Amino acid sequence: MTRPLRWLLMAGHVPGNARGGGIVRYTVELARALRRRPDVELHLLVDPAAAVGLTDLAGDRDRLLELPPLPGPAVPAYERTALGLRLRGRYDVVQGVKHLLPRGLGRTHGVLTVHDMLLMDRPQDFGTAKRTLLQLPYAGSIRGADTLVCVSAATRARLSAFDPRTAARSTAVPLATSPTLLTAEPRPVEGLGDRPFALVVGDTQPRKNLPTVVTAWRQVVARRPDAVLVQVGPPPWGEESYGPDFAPLVASGHLRQLQGVDDGTLRWAYEQAAVVLAPSLAEGFGLPAAEALDLGAPLVTSTDAALVEVSGDRARHLPAEDVDGWAAAVLEQLAAPRPTAPAPAGRRTWDDVAEGTVAAVRRGQAGRTPST
């Protein structure tokens, strides 16, 4: 019998409570799924302050490798330039999930998860420090990875356009809705239980295109003064874009902003929303679209390639900046009873994500070209 792969997942960005935004959730759910596999011996690279909290995620304290106690801005440079020599020969696979893969891994198989190409395509959305620290190292990590795991076919296509040499080393492994979201006890949001609302999930960076929906909401409330737009996301980071109508709508009670909500609150919002809106200009995958569909919500997305890929014919797709079209779509959904949708048959799971990831690595180790 072939021994399990000694697999180190780089999780230095994961806090001890294992909660956070998209990449944290990806890391945690992938770790759980990899740990369930008999052909993988999972290890985690962690921040020392998070080690106690993440022991259960790895299964054993001996499966945690701690980063040195460095100031935050120095960690990416250490991971990229010095960590490889420390890891070489200790693991069969080292997987970077947040832009960086160590150099100098030798025969250790280096895997990089490509969530998106936004650092290259939309650098203006990131602060100067993040661009400086990550843009060139990210490009170098892409060039040096033995296997590139892209979260969607759209992201794989964008990666191949950025560097055609990556095509033979990349594969698309779509994501899945977190089981903690699907099983959370719904927690109602005070003040929303008796009002119809539309839901937008995500941060407020310019690429999320929140101003289009906010501007459209002026037209919505002119026809439906009882309606509320609910924006759920993390606390602001990087560049933000709200549009000129945001503050007046908040002041009038027609817009609610909820930050850092738990899974129970998010599940309730998905299940009670008259419609979920995903107006992004650019996505790597579009997890809120998948979550909305898995929880039975009507969905309208932009025509971004990743969002169309995720939602297919189960959603309505509109040009991202068509304000009138977004207003009309919302009004149509507010006027219609919310459909009772059964749980999707064959819903994708994180075990499927782990299976695709391990299969991509096995192909890469064998020197075969990954499938699309």
pLDDT per position as a tens digit, 95-123:
999 999 999 999 999 999 999 999 999 88
The mean per-residue pLDDT over the stretch 40-47 comes to 97
pLDDT value of residue 298: 96
**Residues paired with residue 257 on neighbouring β-strands, in sequence order:** 231
Burial of 342 (0-12, 13-18, 19+ CB in 10 A): exposed
Q: What percent of the chain has pLDDT over 70?
A: 97
314 or 368, higher pLDDT: 314
The mean per-residue pLDDT over the stretch 330-357 comes to 86
What is the signed CA dihedral for 350, 356, 360, 362, rounded to 10 degrees?
90
**Dist. CA 256–CA 237, nearest whole Å:** 19
Domain with CATH 3.40.50.2000 in the chain: 5-176+349-366, 180-335
The mean per-residue pLDDT over the stretch 243-269 comes to 95
Reduced 3-state DSSP string for 242-288: CCCCHHHHHHHCCEEEEECCCHHHHHHHHHHCCEEEECCCCCCCCHH
Q: Does 5-176+349-366 carry CATH code 3.40.50.700?
A: no
The mean per-residue pLDDT over the stretch 318-330 comes to 97
What is the signed CA dihedral for 95, 96, 102, 107, rounded to 10 degrees?
20
**Residues paired with residue 197 on neighbouring β-strands, in sequence order:** 228
CA 184 and chain centroid, separation: 19
Query: Going by C-beta distance under 8 Å and a sequence separation of 6 or more, which residues neighbour residue 269?
Result: 189, 192, 199, 201, 230, 232, 258, 261
Judged against a pLDDT cut of 50, whether residue 369 lies above it is answered with no
Please state the φ and ψ torsions of residue 334, each to the nearest 5 degrees: -65, -30
Kindly tell me the sign of the dihedral angle through the C-alpha atoms of 335, 340, 345, 346: positive
pLDDT value of residue 292: 96
Q: What percent of the chain has pLDDT over 90?
A: 81
Give the residue among 344, 360, 347, 357 at the shortest CA–CA distance from 178: 347
Binned at pLDDT 50, 70 and 90, residue 238 comes out as: low
**Dist. CA 51–CA 12, nearest whole Å:** 10
The token pair that represents 262 in the structure block? 């738990």
Judged against a pLDDT cut of 80, whether residue 131 lies above it is answered with no
The mean per-residue pLDDT over the stretch 134-158 comes to 96
**Residues paired with residue 276 on neighbouring β-strands, in sequence order:** 199, 299
Please tell me whether residue 362 adopts helix, strand or coil conformation: helix
Judged against a pLDDT cut of 80, whether residue 167 lies above it is answered with yes
Binned at pLDDT 50, 70 and 90, residue 343 comes out as: low
Domain covering 180-335: architecture: 3-Layer(aba) Sandwich (3.40)
pLDDT value of residue 372: 38
The token pair that represents 62 in the structure block? 């001996």
Q: What is the helix (H) or strand (E) element at residue 7, kind and residue range?
A: strand 5-10
